[in-house]
Every structure is written in C-alpha cells, then in structure tokens.
Amino acid sequence: MTVLKNIRVLDFGRYIAGPYCAMLLAQLGAEVIRIERPGGGEDRFMVPLSDEPNADGAMFMQNNGGKKGLTLRLGKPEANTIIQKLVKTADVVVANLPGSVLEKLGLDYASLKAIKPDIILVANSAFGSQGPWGNKPGFDGIGQTMSGAAWFSGSNGKPSKAAVTYIDYSTALSATVGTLAAIMHKQQTGEGQVVETTLLGTALTLNATNLSEQAILGVNRQPSGNQAQVAGPADIFATSDGHIIVQVVGPYIFKRFAGLMNRPEWLTDERFKDDLGRGDHRDILCPIMADWCAERTTAEALAELEQNTVPAGPVLSFQESLDHEAVQALAHLRPVGDLNVPVASAPFTLSALGQMGPQRPPKISEHTDEILIELGYSSAEISALKADKII
C-alpha cells in the first residue's frame, strides 16, 4: 500500500484509540514509529496469548501491526532531545493523552510546531482540551455511560455497558479520517494543524439519534434491554437450541413478516401503521415472535426468515463466530506472527489497491538502533543511552 508513502508518523498512543489510528495509517503506507517505554508499554501485554516472557497480548497484536518499534524513557533530557530530532523528520504525531500530559512531555501542538511548523498533531483524549473535565483521563466505558448508551442498553434498572470497546475503535476511525483530511490540507497549503477526537464526543455521536429525540420531544424513553423501541419486532429471541436476533424495520419487511406469521390483519391495524407504532406496541409483537422462535431450532428459524427476506442472524459465542461460514468467507481475520493469531484486516477495502491485510507488530525496541542511527547517533552514543536506560 502506497497511499501515504513518504509520510512519517510518530505514535505515542496507548491501548486502542491512538494506536489503532496509527496502525491504519501504516496499512495505508505511512512509516509509523511506535514509541513506548523500555521493557514494553503498559498495553503491550494485555490479554496474554502465551506463557512466554514478553509475549505480545491480543490487544497489542490487533492495534500495532506494521509499525516500527522504538523504546524511550519519556521525560528524561536525553529522551527529549531524541523526540525533538524525530519530530523534525515527522509529518504526524499521534498521542491519546490529556492536554496537561502532552504539555509536560513537550508533545502539545505549540511545542511540536516550534520544532516543525507544518506538523500535524492527532490528539485523542477522553473529554477534549476544553471544559472542567479537560484533563481527566478516561476509557471506553466512560463514554458509554456518560452518553446515555449504557443506561439505555440496560433493563430493570440495571445499566449495561457493551463488552466490546466500540467507542475506542470508533474514535480511532474518526481520528484516521481527520488525519487523512489534515494531510491533504497540508499538501495543498503547507499548513499543519491539530486533529482532535474525544471518547465522549464519539459516544455522543453514536447515540445522537436518541439524544436528539429527547432534546426536542422530551419523550423520556426507558430502557428495554435488547428490544428496539422505534421499530418492531426487533429483539433477541430464544430458539429451541440457541438464540437469534430478528430486526423488522420498515413497511416492506413488516409486510413480509406479517405474512410469515399468517397475520394479514396486522397490515390494516392502526397500532402497527408505522415503525414508531410497531415499536410502541412491541409488547404485542415480540411475544408472538418469541413463541414462533421457541418452536424452531436456530437453523429452522433462520431458514424461514431468509425465505421471507426478514433480516435475522444467530447469536454466536466467540468460538462459534470464528467457525461460522460467513466469518470465514469474509477472510477478515488473518493469521499473524508465530502463533498465527487471527488479527482483523482494515475495516475497508480499496479495489484499486488490494486488501490491506494485517501485519505483525514490532518487538520491543526492534528498530531503536536503526532509527537512532538515522538521526545521527553513533554506536557509542546508543550504547551509552542503553546503559543509562534511556532507550
């Protein structure tokens, strides 16, 4: 992939939002240098996949493929000198840290711009650079809870956070789009800028439909678990041997659904005249669907729903997902590294450039010597930096 050929990215990110953005840039052809503390960053060993010492964890494998690895003890004067030299060679700096931490490390935009006037800073944080929460740290779950999503996903007064870190990954995708736009702007004008994303902003965006309705109509919807409230029936239903999700949305699908249920009178029933009405009367529709599903196996229910073009799918465990024919046909998860770890490809394809398959992440300090030599350091100077535990 050569879309971002000759673009150098310095990745100071941790965990997901920053690193995944930087990895997508690497898959698009950028040279990405991940900078972590000597011995490995705090996110390198999460969700271990092996008992071997210093074995990369699943999170690190997913978010750091195709990068070069440099270790550096941030905050030390010698490290600051190395960072300044690196910034002079870079186009983009990625850092998902609060603004106060960026300033402390000299990674804030003013400091970076003083070194490289056209630098692009990609700043991912929990709450942004302004406001009373500007310097607070945060993770994916806080975005879910503060946007109303976890509350509305629950039932019986118990909020339910999604186990999947969708806020983190959506923030990374937004940061990637913003970075590409900033690179295009720089190529046209020679100007750098700050690309800022926040976990809370991403969470509010993803939940904006519900927030908009509340702001304008004040409907005060209450949580209903897996049941949709603005269409129906849309819920997870138990079959005789598992569970499926069925999503009846729009008049044409509902018409086919009514035919499958042998309920033609539903099509003239004022209660079910539109999606909102069907959602309001889900307590009528969902039990009937539940009884229908309970009399069938998952395979039988899905086959009949497919015959009537009603969207549905099985509820799968992790292993069942890995084994499912649709997952395997997509070939989205591809083996990486000595353990053949299934790692996700980029979430988009470009027909002219081919599939952007995953690559292995860098080993600890794998490219440190190579990068420092390029910056003009001698072997003796590198040895001294190692002895002082700077790299």
Helix (H) or strand (E) holding 139: none
Question: Does residue 270 lie in a domain region?
Answer: yes
Neighbouring residues of 39: CB distance < 8 A, sequence distance ≥ 6: 71, 364
- Report the alpha-carbon distance of residue 48 to residue 229 in Å, rounded: 39
- 57-76 pLDDT, tens digit each: 999 999 999 999 999 999 99
Question: Does residue 214 lie in a domain region?
Answer: no
Exposed (0-12), middle (13-18) or buried (19+): which is 6, by Cβ within 10 Å? exposed
pLDDT band at 354; cut points 50, 70, 90: confident
**Residue 375 above 80 pLDDT?**
yes
% of the chain with per-residue pLDDT over 70: 100
How many whole angstroms from its chain centre is CA 254? 33
Question: Does residue 325 lie in a domain region?
Answer: no
CATH of the domain at 249: 3.30.1540.10
- Report the alpha-carbon distance of residue 29 to residue 356 in Å, rounded: 10
Contact assessment for residue 302 and residue 243, using Cβ atoms and an 8 Å cutoff: no
Residue 186 and residue 117 share a domain? yes
- 238-247 pLDDT, tens digit each: 999 999 999 9
Residue 369 and residue 275 share a domain? no
Residue 381 and residue 346 share a domain? yes
Question: Does residue 218 lie in a domain region?
Answer: no
Q: Which of 315, 344, 359 is the last residue of a domain?
A: 315
Number of folded domains that form the chain: 2
**Residue 355 above 90 pLDDT?**
no
- Report the alpha-carbon distance of residue 122 to residue 369 in Å, rounded: 26
**Residue 378 above 80 pLDDT?**
yes
- Report the alpha-carbon distance of residue 354 to residue 313 in Å, rounded: 29
Partners of 197 in the β-ladder: 124
Mean pLDDT of the chain: 95
Question: Does residue 38 lie in a domain region?
Answer: yes
Residue 250 and residue 173 share a domain? no
Residue 309 and residue 341 share a domain? no
Partners of 94 in the β-ladder: 11, 122
Question: Does residue 22 lie in a domain region?
Answer: yes
Nearest of 235, 234, 238 to residue 294 by alpha carbon: 238
Question: Does residue 102 lie in a domain region?
Answer: yes
Residue 259 and residue 310 share a domain? yes
Tokens of 20: 């995944």
- Report the alpha-carbon distance of residue 84 to residue 77 in Å, rounded: 11
Q: Which of 315, 346, 364 is the last residue of a domain?
A: 315
Contact assessment for residue 259 and residue 251, using Cβ atoms and an 8 Å cutoff: no
Domain extent at residue 358 = 8-206+333-387
pLDDT of residue 227: 93
Backbone angles phi, psi at 344, to 5 degrees: -75, 140
Residue 348 and residue 199 share a domain? yes
- 103-124 pLDDT, tens digit each: 989 999 999 999 999 999 999 9
